[in-house]
Structure 1
Amino acid sequence: MAYSQWSLYKTLNQSVLILVFSNMKILFTLLIALSASFSIAQTQFTVQDADTQKPLENVLIRVNDKSFFSDKDGKVDIPGSEPITALFFLEGYETIQGNFQPGSYTLRLKSLSYSLSDFTVTAFETERPLLKQSAAISLIGEQDFSRFNETSIVNSFNTKPGIRIEERAPASYRVSIRGSSLRAPFGVRNVKIYWNEVPFTAPDGTTALNLLDLSNIRTAEVIKGPSGSIYGAGNGGVINLKSAADPKGGLVSAEYGGGSFGLNRSRIAISQQVGKGGFEASLVKQKLDGYREHSAMDRTVFQLGGFMPVSQKQELRTQLLVSDLDYQIPGALNAQQLAEDPRQARPGSVNQNSSIAQKSVFASLGHLYRFSEKAQNNTTLYLTTNDFENPFILDYKKELGFGYGGRTRFTFDWNLAGKPFRIIAGGEYQTALTDAQNFGNRNGLADTVRFADKLKATQGFLFQQAEWEPTEKILLTLGLSQNFSSFEIDRQINASGGPTGLQTRTFDPILIPRLAANYSINPYSSIFGSISSGFSPPTIDEVRTNEGSLNLDLEAERGVNYELGYRLGKSRLNVDVTAFYFNLNETITTFTNAQGVVLFRNSGSTDQKGIEAAIDYVFIQQAVGFFRNFKAGTAFTGHYFQFKDYEQRGNDFSGNDLTGVAPNNLVSKLDFRFAGGFYLNFTHQFTDEIPLNDANTVYQDAYNLVNTRLGIIQNLGKRTVIELYAGVDNLLNESYSLGNDLNPFGGRFYQPAPTRNYYGGLKASFRY
Structure 2
Amino acid sequence: MNKILSLVFILISTLSQAQIQIKVLDATTRLPIENVQASANGRFLASSNAEGEIAIDSSEKLLIQLELAGYERETKEIIPGELVIVSLTKAIINLSEITVSAFESERSLMEQSASVVVVSEQDFNRFNEASLVNSFNTKPGIRIEERAPASYRISIRGSSLRAPFGVRNVKVYWNDVPFTSPDGTTALNLLDVSNIRSAEVIKGPSGSIYGAGNGGVVNLYSPANPAEGDGVSADFMVGNFGMTRYRLGISQQVGNGGFEASYVSQKADGYREQSAMDRQVFQLGGFFNLSDRQEIRTQLLVSDLDYQIPGALNADQLAEDPTQARPGSVEQNSSISQQSVFASLGHLYRFSSKFKNSTTLYLTTNDFENPFILDYKKELGFGFGGRTAFTFDGKLAGKDLRIIAGGEYQTSLTDAQNFGNVNGVADTVRFADKLQATQGFLFQQAEWDLLDNFMVTFALSENFSSLQVDRQIDASGGATDLQTRKFDPIVVPRFALNYQFSPYSGVYGSISSGFSPPTIDEVRTNEGSLNLDLEAEKGLNYEIGYRLGKGKLNLDLTAFYFNLDQTITTYTNAQGVVLFRNAGSTDQKGIETAIDYALIRNETAFIRDLKIGTAFTGHYFTFKDYQKEDNDYSGNDLTGVSPNTLVTRLDLRTSPGFYVNFTHQYVDEIPLDDANTVYQDAYNLVNMRVGWARTFVGKWELEAFAGVDNLTDEVYSLGNDLNPFGGRYYQPAPTRNWYGGVKVAFLY
Query: What letter is aligned with 1:278?
Result: G
Corresponding residue for 1:514? 494
Corresponding residue for 1:245? 224
Q: Distance in 1 between matches of 2:9 and 2:297?
A: 54
Give the TM-score normalised by structure 2.
0.92
Give the 3 Å change call, closer, same or farther, for CA 466–593 of structure 1 in structure 2. Answer: same
Q: 2:164 is paired with a residue of what secondary structure?
A: coil
Corresponding residue for 2:241? 261
Q: 1:205-256: per-residue Cα shift (whole Å, max 9, x none)?
A: 1100000000000010000000352001110000000015222231100010
Note if contact 1:164-1:175 (Cα within 8 Å) is conserved in structure 2. yes
Corresponding residue for 2:199? 220
Corresponding residue for 2:335? 355
1:412 aligns with 2:392: yes
How many residue pairs match? The answer is 726
Q: How much does 1:715 deviate?
A: 2.0
Note if contact 1:44-1:76 (Cα within 8 Å) is conserved in structure 2. no
Q: 2:731 is paired with a residue of what secondary structure?
A: coil
Q: Distance in 2 between matches of 1:232 and 1:603?
A: 23
2:683 to 703, 715, 718: 703
Question: Any unmatched runs of 5+ in structure 1?
Answer: 1-23, 48-55, 96-101
Q: 1:123 is paired with a residue of what secondary structure?
A: coil
Note if contact 2:561-2:589 (Cα within 8 Å) is conserved in structure 1. yes
Q: Distance in 2 between matches of 1:45 and 1:703?
A: 54
Q: How much does 1:624 deviate?
A: 3.6
Give the 3 Å change call, closer, same or farther, for CA 375–440 of structure 1 in structure 2. Answer: same
Corresponding residue for 1:153? 132
Q: Distance in 2 between matches of 1:546 and 1:77?
A: 59
2:610 to 625, 630, 645: 630
Q: How much does 1:43 deviate?
A: 6.3
Note if contact 2:103-2:207 (Cα within 8 Å) is conserved in structure 1. no
Note if contact 1:179-1:660 (Cα within 8 Å) is conserved in structure 2. yes
Note if contact 2:283-2:299 (Cα within 8 Å) is conserved in structure 1. yes
Q: 1:328-374: per-residue Cα shift (whole Å, max 9, x none)?
A: 00000000000000000000000000000000000000000110001
Query: What letter is aligned with 2:696?
Result: L
Give the 3 Å change call, closer, same or farther, for CA 206–627 of structure 1 in structure 2. Answer: same
Corresponding residue for 2:106? 127
Q: Distance in 2 between matches of 1:384 and 1:79?
A: 43
1:457 to 437, 450, 455: 437
2:315 to 323, 330, 335: 335
Query: What letter is aligned with 1:441?
Result: N
Corresponding residue for 1:194? 173
Note if contact 1:60-1:68 (Cα within 8 Å) is conserved in structure 2. no
Q: 2:180 is paired with a residue of what secondary structure?
A: coil
Q: Distance in 2 between matches of 1:579 and 1:93?
A: 34
Q: Distance in 1 between matches of 2:552 and 2:213?
A: 35
Q: 1:596 is paired with a residue of what secondary structure?
A: coil
Q: How does 1:70-109 map to 2 (within 5 A)?
A: 92-93=70-71
Q: How much does 1:195 deviate?
A: 0.1
Query: What letter is aligned with 1:690?
Result: I
1:388 aligns with 2:372: no
Corresponding residue for 2:638? 658
Q: How does 1:272-671 map to 2 (within 5 A)?
A: 272-671=252-651
Q: 2:521 is paired with a residue of what secondary structure?
A: helix
Q: Distance in 2 between matches of 1:85 and 1:230?
A: 49
Note if contact 1:58-1:71 (Cα within 8 Å) is conserved in structure 2. no
Q: 2:96 is paired with a residue of what secondary structure?
A: coil
Give the 3 Å change call, closer, same or farther, for CA 73–445 of structure 1 in structure 2. Answer: closer
1:750 aligns with 2:718: no
Query: What letter is aligned with 1:144?
Result: D
Q: How much does 1:309 deviate?
A: 1.2
Q: Percent identity among equivalent residues?
A: 70
Q: 1:414-461: per-residue Cα shift (whole Å, max 9, x none)?
A: 110011111100000000000000000000000000000000000000
Corresponding residue for 1:115? 94
Note if contact 2:647-2:666 (Cα within 8 Å) is conserved in structure 1. yes
Q: Distance in 1 between matches of 2:504 and 2:661?
A: 28
Give the 3 Å change call, closer, same or farther, for CA 75–571 of structure 1 in structure 2. Answer: farther
Note if contact 1:264-1:288 (Cα within 8 Å) is conserved in structure 2. yes
Q: 1:337 is paired with a residue of what secondary structure?
A: helix
Note if contact 1:452-1:492 (Cα within 8 Å) is conserved in structure 2. yes
Q: 2:147 is paired with a residue of what secondary structure?
A: strand
Note if contact 2:38-2:47 (Cα within 8 Å) is conserved in structure 1. no
Corresponding residue for 2:655? 675
Q: Distance in 1 between matches of 2:613 and 2:72?
A: 18
Note if contact 1:91-1:622 (Cα within 8 Å) is conserved in structure 2. no
Corresponding residue for 2:77? none
Corresponding residue for 2:58? none
Note if contact 2:225-2:287 (Cα within 8 Å) is conserved in structure 1. yes
1:232 aligns with 2:211: yes
2:667 to 651, 666, 687: 687
Query: What letter is aligned with 1:311?
Result: S
Question: Any unmatched runs of 5+ in structure 2?
Answer: 55-65, 74-80
Q: 2:319 is paired with a residue of what secondary structure?
A: helix
Q: Distance in 2 between matches of 1:327 and 1:473?
A: 51
Q: Distance in 2 between matches of 1:110 and 1:243?
A: 29
Give the 3 Å change call, closer, same or farther, for CA 372–112 of structure 1 in structure 2. Answer: closer
Query: What letter is aligned with 2:404?
Result: I
Q: How much does 1:76 deviate?
A: 14
Q: 2:103 is paired with a residue of what secondary structure?
A: helix
Note if contact 1:57-1:71 (Cα within 8 Å) is conserved in structure 2. no
Note if contact 1:140-1:219 (Cα within 8 Å) is conserved in structure 2. yes
Note if contact 2:37-2:67 (Cα within 8 Å) is conserved in structure 1. no
Q: How much does 1:312 deviate?
A: 1.4
Note if contact 2:26-2:89 (Cα within 8 Å) is conserved in structure 1. no
Query: What letter is aligned with 1:333?
Result: L
Q: How much does 1:59 deviate?
A: 9.5
Q: How much does 1:35 deviate?
A: 3.6
Q: Distance in 1 between matches of 2:360 and 2:403?
A: 19
Q: 2:317 is paired with a residue of what secondary structure?
A: helix
Query: What letter is aligned with 2:296?
Result: L
Q: How does 1:131-210 map to 2 (within 5 A)?
A: 131-210=110-189
Give the TM-score normalised by structure 1.
0.90
Note if contact 2:35-2:68 (Cα within 8 Å) is conserved in structure 1. no
Note if contact 1:44-1:78 (Cα within 8 Å) is conserved in structure 2. no
Give the 3 Å change call, closer, same or farther, for CA 63–73 of structure 1 in structure 2. Answer: farther
Q: Distance in 1 between matches of 2:527 and 2:44?
A: 69
Query: What letter is aligned with 1:121?
Result: V
Q: 1:451 is paired with a residue of what secondary structure?
A: strand
Q: 1:271-329: per-residue Cα shift (whole Å, max 9, x none)?
A: 00000100000000000000000100000000000001112111111000000000000
Q: Distance in 2 between matches of 1:306 and 1:76?
A: 20
Note if contact 1:323-1:359 (Cα within 8 Å) is conserved in structure 2. yes
Q: Distance in 2 between matches of 1:39 and 1:267?
A: 43
Note if contact 1:62-1:86 (Cα within 8 Å) is conserved in structure 2. no
Q: Distance in 2 between matches of 1:133 and 1:702?
A: 34
Q: How much does 1:716 deviate?
A: 2.7
Q: Distance in 2 between matches of 1:73 and 1:524?
A: 33
Query: What letter is aligned with 1:116?
Result: L
Corresponding residue for 2:190? 211
Give the 3 Å change call, closer, same or farther, for CA 318–59 of structure 1 in structure 2. Answer: farther
RMSD: 3.1
Corresponding residue for 1:3? none
Note if contact 1:59-1:89 (Cα within 8 Å) is conserved in structure 2. no
Give the 3 Å change call, closer, same or farther, for CA 480–673 of structure 1 in structure 2. Answer: same
Q: How much does 1:93 deviate?
A: 4.8
Q: How much does 1:644 deviate?
A: 1.2
Give the 3 Å change call, closer, same or farther, for CA 217–610 of structure 1 in structure 2. Answer: same
